[in-house]
Amino acid sequence: MKAMRKQVFSWLIILSMYVSLIPMGVWAEELNEAVGLSGNNETIGMMDESQILDMNVNPPGIDISSIQSGDYWYENIAGGIKIVSYTGSGGNVDIPSTIDGKSVLEIGADAFNGKSALTGVNLPNSVTVLGLRSFYNCPNLDSVFLGNGLVTIGNGSFWGAKALTSIMIPHTVTSIGYATFASCDALKKITFFNSSITFNGQVFGTIPNLTIYGYSGSTADSYAYANTRPFVALPPSYVDVYYSTHVQNVGWQASQKNGEISGTVGQSLRLEGIKILIDNSEVNVVIEYQTHVQNIGWQSMVSNGALSGTTGLGLRLEGIRIELDGTDVGKYDVYYRVHAQNFGWLDWAKNGESAGTQGMGLRLEGIQIIVVPKDSAAPGSTAFPFMSSLN
């Protein structure tokens, strides 16, 4: 018996010596596979110890504590809920700010992982955290609008979004994770509005043609320099845009700003009027706009908070054009997109282009507007902002 114990002990010593000789690169490759950061012969590279500790090898998903509501499964967390899985059909998805009367605070690990039918996502201001690989491997995702409450973007969040060409990271985001945009090979522009955002390792992998936009002297500037990425400095002044819509059966809604949704989605209610105003206290910029109205056509341009459209007549808005004017007009772009009957969210229009429809008898139901520094990243796809029967 003693001889057998000695033999087993000897084999254990030999085994431990063998394991110690295995290259660390092999362990790193196996870990990459375990946490989902490799695919199709591509390994997202080596991670340092702190990044490995941040990764959750067994991310949370649907379990006995999860609750289903419509297209979502969620879990209760302090102050609200975390979405742990999306089961919808994809397309352009407006993530709700509340589910079952509870605030949506987090998008959990792998919640949208592998949703190949997902083409767009609108994140509400209530969401503060995107978890590990939250939108991992969504190859047809071409439009991402992040809400102005987001703080943390987790590791690998948008890995493999191969259709994504541009994205804006709002000023509220303080940390962006490892490999967040790795394998997003079509990504050309990304704009950072927080001058002190933390970059956790290699955020972009080997994306070939990416230009980083941010403020001179910011951490984005330093990151671009350290990683030999092209960098374009933004003008120092930020322009806020405010807007309110008059909605069928509702009346005037509360004012929204900087890309928030005004109007409704999924309620089949028409927009009837709109007022738009920008804070130009630091810059000389004026916002002008006109709408295409049922039975009327294109109205004349108005500016800075005046009504475009109608109230009390039951007439739908069908299209809109928005542009900037003033001494500093060359420093900024205005982007806007509409939610149109039968189409859903159309793509983003820019600087006076038409958005919506004409000659098709379709109502506008919602709108988003944002003013950004000149030539910075678009909020999403700009391919098809307008549909017309006259073409």
For residue 364, give its domain range. 241-388
At 230, list the tokens.
């092209």
- Identify the domain boundary among 186, 206, 233: 233
- Please report the pLDDT score of residue 391 as a whole number: 60
Per the rule left: phi > 0, alpha: psi between -120 and 50, beta: everything else, 137 is left
What is the CATH classification number for the domain harbouring 176? 3.80.10.10
- Please report the pLDDT score of residue 27 as a whole number: 34
Report d(CA 90, CA 3) in Å as an integer. 65
- Please report the pLDDT score of residue 279 as a whole number: 84
Q: What is the CA radius of gyration of the chain?
A: 24
Q: Global pTM?
A: 0.80
Q: Are residues 175 and 260 in the same domain?
A: no
Report d(CA 112, CA 90) in Å as an integer. 10
Question: Residue 56, exposed/middle/buried by CB under 10 A (0-12, 13-18, 19+)?
Answer: middle
- Please report the pLDDT score of residue 334 as a whole number: 97
In a domain, 3, yes or no: no
**Total domain count, the chain:** 2
In a domain, 28, yes or no: no
In a domain, 303, yes or no: yes
Q: Are residues 163 and 226 in the same domain?
A: yes
- Please report the pLDDT score of residue 31 as a whole number: 36
- Identify the domain boundary among 213, 233, 253: 233
Ranges of residues in the chain whose predicted pLDDT is under 50: 1-60
- Please report the pLDDT score of residue 3 as a whole number: 47
Q: Are residues 294 and 376 in the same domain?
A: yes
Q: Which of 318, 370, 308 shows the shortest CA–CA distance to 340?
A: 318
* Contact between 316 and 364 (Cβ < 8 Å): yes
